[in-house]
């Protein structure tokens, strides 16, 4: 057992099975106090929607909370202001107004509620039926205007347009460097399309929970590696399974 950086998505990854979450929390809490491990939650939600979830579920207090699909980083001391050292990296090639104007030309894109829009995240609903036709054209239109963006499609309905320099994986690496964790001492957990950036970032370890969505499983089919573990169990139990697999919690006392 060693010190490690635990990075996890929330909806349908950490959260989904309350009993397993309690079990995982105990093991993580032990690792934090015995070894100085650190906990990061990394979610598509806004800060306000995270706070709703935190009021409903028993979550350990994280060392950092990353919201808006990797574009905002908060610490306990942040007082509602995202880490400027991260935010200042994101504007390069990003023009929010132009992104919105380009997207407005696509009638299949339905804006998500204002609460889920952010300075570096423009979000829409887009049906799974329409997505294959829309996404390549939208991408081409953004490129034509030299907008440095990335399209992230999750859950057969959520489209996030982000700056090229911000996503969940890049935010994870920013925190890992800041706190001096090696890639081999870092593990990320997820279930859906917006977590692909976590698994494709570099040599960090990755746990794909057993209930992962088809878009992530499809990506895994062509990107499997020794750094990635596809769990049989779902939600927090799948995370425990993966942490044992990588030896972060010891290997002999199964989940």
Contact between 159 and 136 (Cβ < 8 Å): no
Q: Concatenate the DSSP letters of all residues of 173-216 into one string.
A: HHHHHHHT--GGGEEEEE-SGGGHHHHTSSS-EEEE-TT--HHH
Please give the structure tokens belonging to residue 77: 């001391």
Quick one: which segment of 42-50, 103-111, 175-183, 210-218 binds ligand GLC (CB under 6 A)?
A: 42-50
Using CB under 6 A as the binding rule, the residues of this chain from 5 to 34 that contact ligand GLC are none
54 burial (CB, 10 Å; 0-12 / 13-18 / 19+) is middle
Determine the Cα–Cα distance for residues 41 and 250; give it in Å rounded to an integer: 22
DSSP reduced 3-state for 65: strand
By the rule CB under 5 A, 192 interacts with Mg ion = yes
- Burial pattern 171-204, b for ≥16 Cβ within 10 A else e, equals bbbbbbeeeebeeebbbbbbbbbbbbbbbebeeb
Among positions 1-60, residues that touch Mg ion (CB under 5 A) are 9, 11-13
Residue 123's binding partner among ligand GLC, Mg ion, none (Cβ under 5 to 8 angstroms by kind) is: ligand GLC
Question: Which stretch in 49-57, 72-80, 91-99, 185-193 sits in contact with Mg ion by CB under 5 A?
Answer: 185-193
Out of 158, 191, 204, 241, the only residue in the binding site for ligand GLC (CB under 6 A) is 158
CB of 29 to Mg ion, least distance (A): 22
Q: Per-residue x/- mask for ligand GLC, residues 229 to 248, rule CB under 6 A? A: --------------------
The smaller minimum CB distance to ligand GLC, of residues 31 and 67, is found at: 67
Touching ligand GLC, residues 169-228 (CB under 6 A)? 194
Output helix, strand, coil percentages for the chain, rounded to the nearest 5: 40, 20, 40
Taking the least distance from each CB to Mg ion, the nearer of 11 and 108 is 11
Residues 43-102 that bind ligand GLC (CB under 6 A): 44-45, 49, 69
Q: Using CB distances below 5 to 8 A depending on partner kind, what does residue 191 bind out of Mg ion, ligand GLC, none?
A: Mg ion
- What's the rounded Cα separation, in Å, for the pair 123 and 207? 26
Name the DSSP class of 69.
G
Instruction: Enumerate binding residues for ligand GLC (CB under 6 A).
Output: 44-45, 49, 69, 112, 116, 123, 154, 158, 160, 194
């Amino acid at each position: 057992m060693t010190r490690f950086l635990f990075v996890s998505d929330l909806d349908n990854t950490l959260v989904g099975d309350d009993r397993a979450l309690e079990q995982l929390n105990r093991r993580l809490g032990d690792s934090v106090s015995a070894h100085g491990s650190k906990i990061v939650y990394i979610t598509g939600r806004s800060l306000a929607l995270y706070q709703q979830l935190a009021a409903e579920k028993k979550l350990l207090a994280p060392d950092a909370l990353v919201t808006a699909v990797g574009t905002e980083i908060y610490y306990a001391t942040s007082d509602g202001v995202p880490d400027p050292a991260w935010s200042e990296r994101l504007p390069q090639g990003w023009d929010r107004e132009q992104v919105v104007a380009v997207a407005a030309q696509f009638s299949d894109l339905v804006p998500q509620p204002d609460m889920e829009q952010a300075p570096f995240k423009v979000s829409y609903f887009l049906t799974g039926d329409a997505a294959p036709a829309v996404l390549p054209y939208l991408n081409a239109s953004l490129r034509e205007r030299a907008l440095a963006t990335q399209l992230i499609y999750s859950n057969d309905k959520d489209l996030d347009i982000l700056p090229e320099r911000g996503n969940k994986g890049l935010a994870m690496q920013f925190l890992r460097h800041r706190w001096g964790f090696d890639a081999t001492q870092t593990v990320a957990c997820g279930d859906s399309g917006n977590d692909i950036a976590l698994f494709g970032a570099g040599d960090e370890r990755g746990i794909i929970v057993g209930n992962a969505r088809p878009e992530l499983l499809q990506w895994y089919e062509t990107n499997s590696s020794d750094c990635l573990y596809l769990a049989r169990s779902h939600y927090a139990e799948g995370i425990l399974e993966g942490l044992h697999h990588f030896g972060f919690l010891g290997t002999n006392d199964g989940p």
